[in-house]
Structure 1
Amino acid sequence: MVVRSKNGKVILATGTGPSSRLAVNNAGNIGIGTTSPATSAMLDVSSTTGAILIPRMTTAQRNALTAANGMIVYNTSTNAFNFYENGAWATK
């Protein structure tokens, strides 16, 4: 793993090539698959070959969380995305 600093960013790369895997800019924005994360996003994931995999769990596991508004999980008991909003879990 290679760690380097470039233009106020911390960049993590694998091997000796220029391919970055993760970048953190001086504002704290995190980019995965990009060295220039969008300034309007805390996390910017860029890929043409993969997707984001949301945490997967059963209803019982979800209910054991100390939930906060805005949380997202994939419920394997109901095969649906669940969102925590206004103090309760919802399915959309």
Structure 2
Amino acid sequence: MSTLESTDPTTDEWVDIRMTDLEEGEWELDAVVVDGRMEHVDLRVREDLVASFVECLADDLSRNQRAALLDRLSEAGADGPDAAAAPDTADATED
């Protein structure tokens, strides 16, 4: 159970994430407000910390939620942006 969930029992359909013991420069959060409304939020994480950041997020998920997320990520990975960047092996057989 996440720390936030244990202090806020109104989390029916939400996954609560609380980052603790952060060091300066690990991540940046920018919220853009236009005309008094939230336009968007940008979260930047240092590239070398992305894996540990995702692990921290996953720690706050249930076992079923983690499994569903991993399934979704592996499905996206098969057809995701990296697949388009992979070399085309069909061209490798040309003489």
Regarding TM over 0.5, the answer is: no
Higher relative helix content: 2
Q: Higher relative CO (CA 8 A, sep ≥ 6), structure 1 or 2?
A: 2
Query: Max radius of gyration: which structure?
Result: 2
Instruction: Provide the TM-score with structure 2 as the length reference.
Output: 0.23
Higher relative strand content: 1
